[in-house]
Amino acid sequence: MSAKEVEKYHEKTIAELSAMLQAGEVSSVELTQYFLDRIKAHDEKLNSFITVTEESALAAAVEADEKIKNGDSGPLTGVPIAHKDIFCTEGVRTSCGSKMLDNFISPYDATVVTKMKAAGVVMLGKTNMDEFAMGSSNETSYYGAVKNPWDTSTVPGGSSGGSASAVGARLAPAATGTDTGGSIRQPASMCGITGIKPTYGRISRFGMIAFASSLDQAGPMAQSAEDCALLLNAMAGFDERDSTCIDKEVPDYTAELDKPLEGLRIGLPKEYFGEGLSPEVEKIIRGALEEYKKLGAELIDIELPNSGLSVPVYYVVAPAECSANLSRFDGVRYGYRCENPVDLMDLYTRSRGEGFGAEVKRRIMVGTYALSSGYYDAYYLKSQQLRHKISDDFKEAFEKVDVIMGPTVPDTAFKIGEKSDDPISMYLSDIYTIAVNLAGLPGMSVPAGFVNGMPVGLQITGNYFKESQLLNVAHQYQKNTDWHRAIPEDFS
């Protein structure tokens, strides 16, 4: 067997694969086939993909190889990745994890997908997710639960659980995700990968199926901060088709990766280290903070006094927005249509009743209630006011510190089924991530160690548009640790 045949491409980061592609040590077709084979061999254990686009992936890989040969390529040309099934992909089913869109073949690409294609990325397929991105465990998908590659009896987190599981098991070098209340960071933490949710407005939401429009933001999920930087370079930027997308120059996110951390001020919110945090997780986070001290950072205690309000506020704002966004799925304009409706009302009610799952219905009902006249002021308006207070806490904190650190999730991945009958306990697994979305700030999760063999993520939150700084802070840690390189034994 030649050296080439035993090469374990799944152990390599995108930065490393890219260098190999450019040097002609591997072709995009070989890499793409390698990952398609891994998906075939392993995904049965994980259920991380809803659709695998083998044929179009190989065709895109041929094109990428051509570009590389002609010297017309960039750092992502020929690199295979997966897209969360919330991004519209032309000619490919885009289900959003729901029966409602099970037969939806998108006629166009989301801007994120267009930009990735332009960068020469090869799409391997579409990853499983909680239905309409509502969930923290990936158990609400119409296509069944996704499993965590570190222990397949546990959840991968949600809602970008398919992306996290696939990257955790190295069935894809990276994947896209979306984060409304933690859906990039929480599953990244639970599956031992690196993920970044940029500032709200940094990446276009065009073609990304809406859950809660004032909170939703796309981002990359990969092995390392360096890979996230490469992917963010391709994803970020203004798009006139999304009125909330911000027209601000996109820096090269790799440019600051190597900056030393001497003098970095890290804020530790006392609310993130209190009751509810597993002592073992806390130990891991404290260990990571020690590492930062060695790198020259200063640890400063801070307070985010309104953070206790973030879960209740989110669970008014997000359902309110989703109830409006999901009203379009009525069996006429969009989505599944029930069989043999007797009249229009029957068509609406049965199409929605049969097309949506329980969690989505719960959110629509809560949201419709919160927006109804008589309750609007008490719930929706009040929540919007409290949202400002939550943002103000961060503003004040960022006067004293550069970044904020803490655990991403209070505990490691829980068992499948453990919280499915208890929505409140499920909602609390996002207790440290949600405030960041309410404030519109950028946040990351970085692998920081293991508790009983299960990964733990360190959350790093930055000020608006400080993605470069977050990636730099994460990269310096990853240069000195190798938690992010760990691969679950069954997928090694």
Q: Based on the shown chain and the rule CB under 6 A, indicate whether residue 179 belongs to the binding site for ligand GLN.
A: yes
Q: How far is the CB of 439 from ligand GLN (least distance, A)?
A: 14
Binding span for ligand GLN by CB under 6 A among 180-188, 201-209, 304-312, 464-472? 180-188
Whether residue 294 lies in the annotated active site: no
Binding span for ligand GLN by CB under 6 A among 103-111, 132-140, 219-227, 458-466? 132-140
Q: How many residues bind ligand GLN (CB under 6 A)?
A: 14
| β-pair partners for 51 | 126
Instruction: Region of 276 please: left (phi>0), alpha (psi -120 to 50) or beta.
Output: left
Q: Which is nearer to ligand GLN, 75 or 168 (CB)?
A: 168
Whether residue 160 lies in the annotated active site: no
DSSP string, 407-466: ESSSSSPPBTTSSTT-HHHHHGGGTTTHHHHHHT--EEEEEEEEETTEEEEEEEEESTT-
Contact assessment for residue 185 and residue 195, using Cβ atoms and an 8 Å cutoff: yes
Q: How far is the CB of 322 from ligand GLN (least distance, A)?
A: 9
Among 97, 149, 181, 406, binds ligand GLN (CB under 6 A): 181
Q: How far is the CB of 445 from ligand GLN (least distance, A)?
A: 12
Q: Based on the shown chain and the rule CB under 6 A, indicate whether residue 159 belongs to the binding site for ligand GLN.
A: yes
State CA 30 to chain mean position distance: 27
The Cα 293–Cα 222 span in angstroms is: 25
Q: Based on the shown chain and the rule CB under 6 A, indicate whether residue 182 belongs to the binding site for ligand GLN.
A: yes
Q: How far is the CB of 319 from ligand GLN (least distance, A)?
A: 9
Q: How far is the CB of 215 from ligand GLN (least distance, A)?
A: 8
Q: Which is nearer to ligand GLN, 57 or 370 (CB)?
A: 370
Q: Based on the shown chain and the rule CB under 6 A, indicate whether residue 175 belongs to the binding site for ligand GLN.
A: no
DSSP-based three-state secondary structure for 311: helix
Nearest CA to 382 out of 317, 428, 432 is that of: 317
- What would the two tokens of residue 102 be? 């099970």
Instruction: Region of 29 please: left (phi>0), alpha (psi -120 to 50) or beta.
Output: alpha
Q: How far is the CB of 438 from ligand GLN (least distance, A)?
A: 12
Which residues have a Cβ under 8 Å from the Cβ of 332 and sit 6 or more positions away? Answer: 347, 348
Contact assessment for residue 413 and residue 154, using Cβ atoms and an 8 Å cutoff: yes
In the block, tokens 């996110």 appear at 253
Q: Based on the shown chain and the rule CB under 6 A, indicate whether residue 430 belongs to the binding site for ligand GLN.
A: yes
The Cα 370–Cα 320 span in angstroms is: 6
Whether residue 391 lies in the annotated active site: no
Range 136-155, binding ligand GLN (CB under 6 A): 136
**Strand pairing of 298-302 and 265-269?**
parallel
Q: Based on the shown chain and the rule CB under 6 A, indicate whether residue 134 belongs to the binding site for ligand GLN.
A: yes
Range 201-220, binding ligand GLN (CB under 6 A): 211
Q: Which of 183, 204, 310, 420 is catalytic?
A: 183
Q: Which is nearer to ligand GLN, 182 or 449 (CB)?
A: 182
Q: Based on the shown chain and the rule CB under 6 A, indicate whether residue 183 belongs to the binding site for ligand GLN.
A: yes
Q: Which of 98, 106, 141, 159 is catalytic?
A: 159
Give the residue numbers annotated as catalytic, written as ranges. Answer: 84, 159, 183
Contact residues for ligand GLN, defined by CB under 6 A: 133-136, 158-159, 179-183, 211, 318, 430
